């Protein structure tokens, strides 16, 4: 995986650098977005309205707004304007943390085991860590989230049991500290054991350590308080950063954001909370519909996951086929002893198992709607979800019963309230921070694209995505693409090289791509289509949990190809290639 | 062994101890002779039950069996009034004698390095003095197939009688090359491979298997040609091919270990194509494809029966009911434990199979005559008939029931001592001397 | 401060208690052969359960209005089977990071959706002792659970009020994990003893510090609490008798060692687990009053069990040790009735003696013998109904009942019992291998950096 990061990261980093050394500076920070459909808050719609932002703050909004003379005007006729989305649980922008190389592989430890006394840090208890220290403002997933319409992310640091304090981060700025809107928005914690075979390793040890650590922190706080009032006669406190970081939590000024992606972890988080008494938020919730009674009676704030399991399609080829081993008579394809039967109906057992699986997927899709029906409010968090799927997942939830209004609220007003930033964020009102999302239509419509995003009143503009040419995918056209190709992508100051391999899989063409630094490791290409001499495909690239989609469009000419690849919002770059071997 | 009997034995042993240097830990000896077991209920298996019958054992064989038979002169008469006589039970798959303490890897002798090693002989690695052997036979299991495991062709399994001091003395007349069918399933909790990786591994394994088979056929062809021309066969030393030759020629059996339903079907197709003389072993998901197995006419060594289901969505009794479902579809089955030190539980595996659909009669056959037939030794084993080897047990009831005492065990016509490490420890410690106070 | 913590603990325990409201039912089981275990066998008799409690046992009981009747004619009715050593229903078995981890508690990570629970029910087992594994000399605290399968709420499994227990382990397992695996004590049985003595001594010192503080606090409002340690607090609770030791052990000498250590530190109650060589020190065990929970016939899988015997349970019973048969396996827990029956083969125990090994005796070892373990009026309605006598190899459990609610019915056994469904994958084939359950999770932990 690391080699891929180096390969594509270089490509992307170059593009980011490009953007920054771009020569255009904004003229001023005053904008008027006019003639738009404006949704100041969920459930309210202004038609043909205007919103004016100045120096990062909303100056005016309404139908009768007079446009200031120094405003840059954006005619947003038939576009929709929403308050910028707030992601209540994100891991975007976090630099991957170097972990101590522990013993790997079976057998004896490769390095002699470390039996020095266990510190809080070694145990994974690091509440003193702040997001600012781990945030990389140039990380591409920040930009990717912004392109979806998010303006504020509640980012959590990376770590083990208690990785540190989360922070609300505005998606604009080149220095980490500039971007922090609110540090210490919550204490992030998860059921993840320490590295290097250290205590606590398992869930039960994490729960035990939580109680130990918290109680000792309470005692330390008491000690420090007494000592500050009157030190005489008392031993002096040991001012431990990790312990001190807990004081706001103990005082209930900062909530604990507990990541609980399944029903059992929710019970366990609440068990710890009941023992210790801190304020709790349950985050990355996927099975909340099994916990409604407890959530309701304890009024627990929730952050639902934007991730959903794959939708179960009715596949023609796929699970239904009965694979056969052994050789078929006269079959000289010794490489592939298996033959796939298509369109075979499932036996009753498999049909029943699939039905149960499908019902489970549907329950997850319906989670948001179920909670709303139970009168439980929630925010959304993107941690663990692929960027490219967020909008599609929201639409699946809407199809399963969540109203668009509720979806919008969970992306704006609810997280603003959760983060105690509702005086500045969540709705479009005079005086609030100028975080706007401008889309070509109602946000949840499939064809709608995000055209502008304003963060702290600074404008970001996005061109519309070129649509992939619909392919006829006829066999002769496909044949011209088959084989192994060497390619080069021209990026300023650099070029990315690698191989692409296209082969037939039944009646469909499939492709894989590798780059020079990843060696033989390949990634699959999606939607490979050949129409005449034009081949298009796209590829997903995950970096730190957020993903980008690279779109290729190539012309085939004998054993040569040339074309372009579009890399997110950074633009398109030339691709050249040569076939080096044909398929057998 | 019940409380009273063992106290008597303890006292008897104590009496012997007073005599001299006899160490209480030594086993008493097996005894060969002419025996007449009289007035018993005899379960012949193949020819019904005989009430108030007699079995005469002589020169290692069943000399006569029936009601009202004359006792030969000089025979030791054992009055079995109220007792039952069964053939010695046969376990169709174990690692007995090939491993002593499973956590101590150097005591484990059934898993050798290599993918193509059919020539590895389980028989010669059997430890005739394994502590587990007496423990097994006092429970009525007299004959077992002991098997190698490991790579694709891990070796040759052997049928052994649980009496004798050398593997040759124990050998019971059947050997079989083992083939571990490429599995498409996961290897348990520690198997972290993706489904794609597993599929690739399976395809490669099948490819390799076919390559082995093809080369063995080549080898056999060369051998046949050489024999025909009267010339010596000029091939390099290749014990694996030597071992596979009778198998690819269809002369010797091939025991194919396979469990997943999909794999069983692919194995059946392969067997048909290769024209192999196959036996299937394991077959834990056989109930899903029982009709196909029956249609192919391949016998099955099924077990362990007392085991967990293979999938979390399976019914709780899937393995218990497996033998019954196979039998109902028309498959010929033998039951096995696949145990090392607890092969003695074979009667209980059979009992569970009986309770969950197989029925007592078929279960009894599945641990006597059916394995004998499948192994091609039915002329010697598997039932109480004149001329067969004297492998018999004398019980006070149904051998599948835990309450039943196995009172006597005869293997190859020898009366084996009803003694084992477990019994010796019982005798020593039931009433320990010194006790609490020295 | 410690009292404050105890207060919090009590309060939280009561709050947790209020979460679990397991259902209680009423049933009339009619005309069966009732094996009470403690009060003989009754033929053609009835058992009436009302609101989860056995109200009456006798002949010709009439069903109160609305109470379901189960016709047990020709069937055998016995107390629900109790397994004193199990690892089902929990997500974590071993916290193998230290030879002493007394603070962790498997009850913090119950998994009510484990299909093994249902499969245990299908074998007549209603209660099990969910234990920490044997990777550490002093492992984690355990939890006695009832197999109330079908819910997603882990609290539904809890047997509220059951005494606290903790897992100890002697012999090869902790030596292999810590000595051989990590180069720390213990690597030998000498080291194992030292670890226990040291832990107990540190606990005594901890308790002394806190006692001093609690006293000091009365007159000095500025008294500062000593460092709080759940680990040492739990160890102190063992010494004061609040937590009972269940010790995985095999060799005779290590069994004796622990009894001597207990004597030195004033620990009176202990149950040895597996204790394959218990029969070699049966008089000492009986004299101490120690309990033993053993396998029916497992042996030779490790060197420390190479010299053991299937007659272990019979010898211990005959020498006056309260003995039970356990499973330590998701397979064996489904047929403990068969495991117990083996003691009739190896040692000639009577029917009631054999049945005691899986009912009233494990109940005693878990401290719940006043609630379950026999069919007596006033006890909880945990019942297993069999076709054929449970000690017969042909026994088939047909109904399993907990607190008067039927949790397993062979006539209504669905073909896919899972409560927890993976939305991404269909269930896959997995070849089960009988490994040493007590080492569950250790290899993954030792050899993978998570």
**Nearest chain C Cα distance for residue B303, angstroms:** 12
Residues paired with A77 in a beta bridge: none
CB contact (8 A) between residue B210 and residue A325: no
Candidates C359, C107, C362; CA nearest to C246 is C362
Tokens of C196: 């226990």
Query: What pLDDT score does B189 carry?
Result: 57
DSSP state letters, A193-246: PPSTTPSP-SHHHHHHHHHHHHHHHHHHHHHHHHHHH--TTSPPP---HHHHHT
Tens-of-pLDDT digits for all 438 residues of chain B? 455 555 555 454 444 444 333 344 567 899 999 999 999 999 999 999 999 999 999 999 999 999 989 899 999 999 999 999 999 999 999 999 999 998 898 999 999 999 999 999 999 999 999 999 999 999 999 999 999 999 999 999 999 999 999 999 999 999 999 999 998 876 655 566 777 788 888 899 999 999 999 999 999 999 999 999 998 988 899 999 999 999 999 999 999 999 999 999 999 999 999 999 999 999 999 999 999 999 999 999 998 999 999 999 999 999 999 999 999 999 999 999 999 999 999 999 999 999 999 999 999 999 999 999 999 999 999 999 999 999 999 999 999 999 999 999 999 999 999 999 999 999 999 999 999 988
Sequence-ordered list of residues with C-beta below 8 angstroms from that of A78, at least 6 positions apart, any chain: A35, A36, A37, A440, A441
Q: Does B207 touch chain A (CB under 8 A)?
A: yes
Alpha-carbon distance of C45 to C377, in angstroms, equals 14
Cβ neighbors of C387 (< 8 A, separation 6 or more) are C74, C75, C76, C395, C396, C397, C398
A75 CA to chain C: closest CA distance, Å? 45
Which of helix, strand or coil describes residue B348? Answer: helix
CA distances B116 to B120, B204, C229, Å, are 10, 14, 57
| C64-95 per-position pLDDT tens digit | 999 999 999 999 999 999 999 999 999 999 99
H or E segment at B254? strand B254-258
Distance, in Å, from the CA atom of C104 to the CA atom of C140, rounded to the nearest integer, reads: 5
| Residue to substitute from B7, B287, B313, interface C, most C β-carbons within 10 A | B313
Looking at residue B186, its pLDDT comes to 65
Give the pLDDT score at C435.
54
Mean pLDDT, all residues of chain C = 92
Token pair, residue B299, equals 């016998």
Predicted confidence (pLDDT) per residue in C205-252, tens digit: 999 999 999 999 999 989 999 999 999 999 999 999 999 999 999 999
Supply the pLDDT for residue C11.
Answer: 40
Of A106, A203, A359, the CB nearest to C91: A203
Radius of gyration of chain A (CA): 27
Q: What is the pLDDT of residues C174-190, one digit of tens each?
A: 999 999 988 999 999 99
Cα B169 to Cα B129: distance, rounded to the nearest angstrom: 12
DSSP per-residue letters across B53-118: EEEEEETTEEEEEEETPPPPTTPEEEE-TT-EEEEPEEEEEE-TTSBS-TTSGGGB-S--S-SB-T
Rounded to two decimals, the pTM is 0.86
* pLDDT tier, C10 (very low <50, low <70, confident <90, very high otherwise): very low
Q: Give the pLDDT confidence score for residue C273 in this predicted structure.
A: 97
Tell whether the model's pLDDT for residue C193 goes beyond 50: yes
A170 is written with which tokens? 């505005």
Q: What are phi and psi of A302, to 5 degrees?
A: -125, 145
Check CB contact under 8 Å for A113 and C1: no
* Whole-number Å distance between alpha carbons of A346 and A348: 6
| pLDDT for the residue A497 | 86
pLDDT at A344: 67
For C334, which DSSP code?
G
| Ranges of H-type helices in B275-316 | 290-296
| CB hemisphere CA count around B338 (13 angstroms) | 16
| pLDDT score at B15 | 45
Residue A404: strand, helix, or coil = helix
Best probe of the B interface among C348, C430, C442, by most B CBs < 10 A, is: C430
Choose from C91, C177, C180, C393 for mutation: most chain B CBs within 10 A: C393
CA distance C223 to chain A (A): 9
Task: List per-residue pLDDT tens for chain A, 584 residues long.
Answer: 555 555 555 555 444 444 444 567 888 899 999 999 999 999 999 999 999 999 999 999 999 999 999 999 999 999 999 999 999 999 999 988 776 544 444 444 445 566 678 899 999 999 999 999 999 999 999 999 999 999 999 999 999 999 999 999 999 999 999 999 999 999 999 999 998 889 999 999 999 999 999 999 999 999 999 999 999 999 999 889 999 999 999 999 999 999 999 999 999 999 999 999 999 999 999 999 999 999 999 999 999 999 999 998 765 444 433 333 333 343 343 333 344 444 567 788 899 999 999 999 999 999 999 999 999 999 999 999 999 999 999 999 999 999 999 999 999 999 999 999 999 999 999 999 999 999 999 999 999 999 999 999 999 999 876 665 555 556 667 778 888 888 888 877 667 888 888 888 777 788 888 877 666 677 888 888 888 788 888 887 655 445 567 888 888 888 888 888 887 666 778 888 888 888 75
Closest residue on chain B to C433 (Cα):
B188
With H, G, I as helix, E, B as strand and everything else as coil, classify residue C442.
Answer: helix
For residue A554 the two structure tokens come to 């190539």
Q: Which helix (H) or strand (E) holds A295?
A: helix A292-298
- In this complex, the residue of B184, B273, B288 whose CB is nearest that of residue A326 is B273
- Name the strand (E) or helix (H) holding A365: helix A348-365
Neighbouring chains to C with at least 3 Cβ pairs closer than 8 Å: A, B
Shortest distance between the Cα of B165 and any Cα of chain C, in A, equals 21
pLDDT of residue C19: 43
Contact of A96 with chain C, judged by CB distance below 8 Å, is answered with no
CA distance A156 to chain C (A): 20
Interatomic CA distance for residues C335 and C397, integer angstroms:
9
Dist. CA A290–CA C193, nearest whole Å? 46
Give the separation between CA C199 and CA B290, rounded to whole angstroms: 58
Predicted local confidence at residue A100, as pLDDT: 57
pLDDT at A584: 58
For residue A427, say if its preceding peptide bond is cis, omega within 30 degrees of 0: no
Give yes or no for B419 touching A (CB within 8 A).
no
| Option in B3, B101, B189 nearest C300 (CB) | B101
Are the beta carbons of B307 and C331 separated by less than 8 Å?
A: yes
Number of Cβ within 10 Å of residue A351's Cβ equals 12
Q: What is the interface pTM, i.e. ipTM, of the complex?
A: 0.92
C344-393 pLDDT, tens digit per residue, is 999 999 999 999 999 999 999 999 999 999 999 999 999 999 999 999 99
Q: Nearest by CB to B206, from A322, A337, A353: name it.
A: A337
- The verdict on C256 touching B (C-beta cutoff 8 Å) is no
Query: CA torsion, points A21, A27, A30, A35, in degrees to nearest 10?
Result: -90
Q: pLDDT tens-digit profile of C150-164?
A: 999 999 999 999 999
The confidence score (pLDDT) of residue A568 equals 66
Picking from A319, A325, A355 by the largest number of B CB atoms within 10 A of its own CB, the best residue to mutate is: A325
Both structure tokens of A450? 């995000």
Q: Do B316 and C119 touch (CB under 8 A)?
A: yes
* Distance between CA atoms of residues A555 and A477, nearest Å: 11
- Report how far residue A359's alpha carbon sits from residue C360's, in angstroms, rounded to the nearest whole number: 43
Residue with tokens 């009850």: C107
| H helix or E strand, kind and range, residue C172 | helix C172-174
Q: Please give, rounded to a whole number of angstroms, the shortest distance from the CA of B262 to a CA of chain A.
A: 8
Predicted pLDDT of residue B84: 97
- Cβ-contact B85, B384 below 8 angstroms: yes
Is B206 within 8 Å of A334 when comparing Cβ atoms? no
Go through the domains of chain C in sequence order and give each one's CATH number. 22-79+375-410 (2.30.40.10), 81-372 (3.20.20.140), 414-450 (no CATH)
Contact B373, C413 (CB under 8 A): no
Beta carbons of C103 and A208 less than 8 Å apart: yes
Under DSSP, is residue A415 helix (H, G, I), strand (E, B) or coil? helix
Cα(A32)–Cα(A69) distance, integer angstroms:
10
In this complex, which of B188, B352, B422 lies closest to C393 when CB atoms are compared? B352
Three-state DSSP class for residue A409 = helix
Cα separation, A200 vs A254, in Å, equals: 24
């Amino acid at each position: 995986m690391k080699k891929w990061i180096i390969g594509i990261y270089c490509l992307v980093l170059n593009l980011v650098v490009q953007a920054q050394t771009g020569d255009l500076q904004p003229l001023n920070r005053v904008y008027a977005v006019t003639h738009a459909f404006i949704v100041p808050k969920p459930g309210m719609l202004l038609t043909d309205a205007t919103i004016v932002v100045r120096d990062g703050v909303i100056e005016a909004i309404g139908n009768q707004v007079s446009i200031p003379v120094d405003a840059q005007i954006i005619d947003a006729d038939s576009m929709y304007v929403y308050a910028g989305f707030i992601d209540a649980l994100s891991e975007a922008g976090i630099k991957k943390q170097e972990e101590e190389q522990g013993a790997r592989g079976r057998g004896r430890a490769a390095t002699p085991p470390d039996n020095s006394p266990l510190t809080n840090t070694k145990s994974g208890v690091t509440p003193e860590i702040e997001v600012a220290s781990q945030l990389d403002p140039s990380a591409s997933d920040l930009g990717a989230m912004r392109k979806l319409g998010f303006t504020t992310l509640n980012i959590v640091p990376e770590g083990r049991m208690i990785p540190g304090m989360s922070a609300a981060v505005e998606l604009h700025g080149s220095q980490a500290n500039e971007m922090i809107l609110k540090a210490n928005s919550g204490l992030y914690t998860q059921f993840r054991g320490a590295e290097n075979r250290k205590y606590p390793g398992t869930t039960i040890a994490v729960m035990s350590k939580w109680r130990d650590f918290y109680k000792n922190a309470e005692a330390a706080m008491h000690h420090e308080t007494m000592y500050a009032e009157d030190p005489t006669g008392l031993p002096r406190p040991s001012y431990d950063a990790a312990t001190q970081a807990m004081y706001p939590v103990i005082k209930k000024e900062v909530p604990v954001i507990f990541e609980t992606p399944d029903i059992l972890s929710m019970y366990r988080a609440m068990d710890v909370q009941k023992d210790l008494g801190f304020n709790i938020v349950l985050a990355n919730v996927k099975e909340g519909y099994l916990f409604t009674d407890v959530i309701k009676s304890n009024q627990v704030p929730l952050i639902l996951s934007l991730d959903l399991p794959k939708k179960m399609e009715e596949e023609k080829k796929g699970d239904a086929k009965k694979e056969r081993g052994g050789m078929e008579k006269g079959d000289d394809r010794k490489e592939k002893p298996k033959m796939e039967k298509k369109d075979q109906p499932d036996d009753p057992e498999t049909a029943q198992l699939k039905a149960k699986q499908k019902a489970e997927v549907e329950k997850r899709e319906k989670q948001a709607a179920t909670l709303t029906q139970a009168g439980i409010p929630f925010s959304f968090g993107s941690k663990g979800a692929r960027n490219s799927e967020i909008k599609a997942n929201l639409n699946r939830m809407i199809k399963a019963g969540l109203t668009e209004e509720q979806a919008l609220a969970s992306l704006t007003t609810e997280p603003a309230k959760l983060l105690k930033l509702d005086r500045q964020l969540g709705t479009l009102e005079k005086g609030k921070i100028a975080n706007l999302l401008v889309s070509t239509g109602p946000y949840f419509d499939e064809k709608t694209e995000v055209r502008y995003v304003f963060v702290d009143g600074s404008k970001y503009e996005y061109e519309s995505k070129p649509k992939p040419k619909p392919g006829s995918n006829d066999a002769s056209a496909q044949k011209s693409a088959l084989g192994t190709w060497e390619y080069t992508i021209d990026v300023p100051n650099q070029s990315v090289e690698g191989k692409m391999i296209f082969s037939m899989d039944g009646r469909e063409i499939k492709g894989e791509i590798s780059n020079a630094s990843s060696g033989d490791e390949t990634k699959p290409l999606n939607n490979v289509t050949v129409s005449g001499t034009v081949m298009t495909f796209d590829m997903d690239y995950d970096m730190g949990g957020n993903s980008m989609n690279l779109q290729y469009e190539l012309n085939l000419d004998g054993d040569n190809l040339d074309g372009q690849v579009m890399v997110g919002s950074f633009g398109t770059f030339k691709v050249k290639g040569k076939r080096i071997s044909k398929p057998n | 062994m019940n409380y009273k009997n063992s106290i008597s034995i303890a006292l008897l042993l104590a009496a012997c101890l007073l005599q001299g240097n006899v160490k209480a830990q030594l086993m008493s000896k097996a005894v060969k002779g002419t025996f007449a077991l009289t007035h018993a209920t005899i379960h012949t298996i193949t020819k019904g039950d005989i009430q108030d019958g007699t079995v005469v054992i002589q020169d290692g064989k069943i000399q006569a069996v029936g009601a009202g038979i004359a006792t030969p002169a000089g025979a030791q008469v054992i009055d079995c009034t109220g007792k039952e006589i069964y053939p010695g039970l046969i376990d169709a798959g174990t690692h007995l004698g090939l491993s002593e303490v499973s956590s101590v890897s150097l005591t484990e002798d059934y898993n050798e390095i290599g993918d193509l090693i059919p020539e590895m002989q389980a028989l010669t690695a059997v430890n005739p003095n394994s502590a587990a052997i007496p423990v097994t036979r006092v429970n009525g299991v007299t004959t077992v197939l002991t098997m190698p495991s490991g790579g694709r062709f891990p070796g040759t399994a052997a049928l052994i009688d649980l009496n004798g001091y050398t593997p040759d003395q124990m050998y019971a007349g059947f050997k079989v090359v083992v083939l571990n069918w490429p599995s498409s399933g996961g290897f348990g909790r520690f198997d972290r491979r993706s489904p794609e990786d597993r599929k690739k591994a399976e395809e490669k394994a099948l490819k390799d298997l076919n390559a082995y088979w093809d080369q063995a056929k080549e080898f056999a062809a060369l051998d046949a040609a050489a024999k025909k021309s009267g010339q010596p066969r000029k091939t390099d030393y290749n014990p694996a091919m030597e071992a596979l030759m009778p198998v690819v020629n269809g002369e010797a059996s091939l025991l194919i270990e396979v469990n997943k339903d999909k794999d069983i079907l692919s194995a059946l197709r392969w067997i048909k194509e290769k024209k192999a003389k196959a036996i299937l072993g394991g077959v834990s998901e056989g109930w899903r494809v029982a009709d196909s197995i029956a249609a192919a006419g391949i016998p099955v060594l099924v077990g362990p029966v007392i085991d967990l289901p293979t999938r979390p969505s399976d019914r709780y009794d899937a393995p218990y009911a497996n033998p019954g479902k196979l039998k109902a579809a028309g498959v010929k089955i033998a039951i096995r434990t696949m145990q090392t030190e607890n092969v003695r539980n074979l009667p209980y595996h059979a009992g569970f199979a009986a309770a969950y659909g197989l029925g007592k009669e078929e279960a009894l056959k599945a641990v006597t005559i059916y394995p004998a037939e499948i192994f091609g030794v039915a002329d010697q084993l598997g039932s109480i008939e004149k001329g067969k080897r004297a492998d018999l047990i004398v019980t006070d009831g149904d051998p599948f029931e835990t309450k039943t005492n196995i009172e006597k065990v005869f293997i190859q016509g020898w009366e084996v001592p009803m003694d084992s490490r477990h019994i010796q420890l019982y005798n020593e410690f039931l009433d320990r001397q010194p006790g609490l106070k020295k | 401060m410690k009292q404050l913590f105890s207060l919090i603990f009590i309060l939280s325990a009561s709050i947790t208690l209020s979460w679990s409201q397991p259902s209680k039912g009423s049933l009339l089981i009619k005309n069966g052969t009732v094996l009470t275990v403690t009060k003989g066998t009754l033929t053609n008799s009835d058992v009436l359960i009302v609101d989860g409690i056995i109200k009456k046992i006798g002949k010709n009981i009439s069903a109160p209005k609305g109470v379901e009747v189960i016709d047990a004619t020709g069937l055998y009715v016995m107390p629900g089977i109790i397994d004193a050593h199990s690892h089902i229903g929990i997500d974590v078995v071993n916290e193998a990071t230290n030879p002493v981890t007394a603070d962790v508690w498997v009850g913090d990570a119950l998994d009510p959706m484990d299909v093994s629970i249902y499969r245990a029910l299908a074998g007549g087992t209603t209660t099990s002792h969910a234990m920490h594994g044997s990777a550490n000399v002093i492992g984690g605290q355990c939890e006695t659970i009832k197999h109330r399968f079908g819910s997603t709420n882990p609290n539904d499994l809890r047997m509220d009020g059951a005494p606290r227990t903790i897992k100890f382990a002697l012999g090869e397992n902790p030596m292999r994990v810590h000595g051989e695996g990590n180069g720390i004590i213990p690597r030998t049985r000498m080291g194992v003893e030292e670890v226990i003595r040291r832990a107990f001594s540190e606990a005594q010192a901890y308790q002394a510090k806190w006692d001093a503080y609690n006293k000091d606090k009365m007159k000095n409002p500025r008294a500062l609490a000593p460092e709080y340690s759940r680990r040492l607090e739990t160890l102190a609770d063992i010494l004061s008798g609040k937590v009972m030791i269940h010790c995985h052990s095999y060799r005779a000498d290590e069994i004796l060692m622990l009894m001597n250590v207990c004597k030195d530190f004033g620990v009176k109650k202990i149950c040895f687990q597996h204790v394959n060589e218990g029969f070699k020190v049966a008089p000492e065990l009986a004299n101490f009053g120690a309990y033993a929970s053993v396998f029916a016939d497992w042996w030779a899988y490790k060197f420390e069990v190479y010299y053991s015997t299937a007659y272990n349970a019979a010898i211990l019973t005959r020498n006056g040790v309260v003995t039970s048969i356990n499973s330590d396996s998701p397979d064996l827990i489904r047929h403990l009735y068969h495991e117990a029956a083996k003691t009739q083969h190896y040692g000639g125990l009577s029917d009631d003696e054999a049945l005691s090994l899986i009912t009233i005796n494990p109940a005693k070892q878990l401290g719940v013998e006043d609630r379950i373990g026999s069919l007596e009026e006033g006890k909880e309605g945990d019942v297993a109904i069999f076709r054929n006598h449970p000690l017969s190899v042909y026994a088939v459990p047909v109904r399993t009942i907990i607190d008067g609610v039927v949790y397993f019915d062979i006539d209504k056994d669905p073909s896919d019992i899972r409560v927890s469904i993976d939305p991404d994958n269909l269930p896959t084939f997995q070849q089960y291998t009988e490994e040493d359950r007590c080492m569950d999770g250790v290899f993954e932990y030792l050899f993978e950096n998570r």
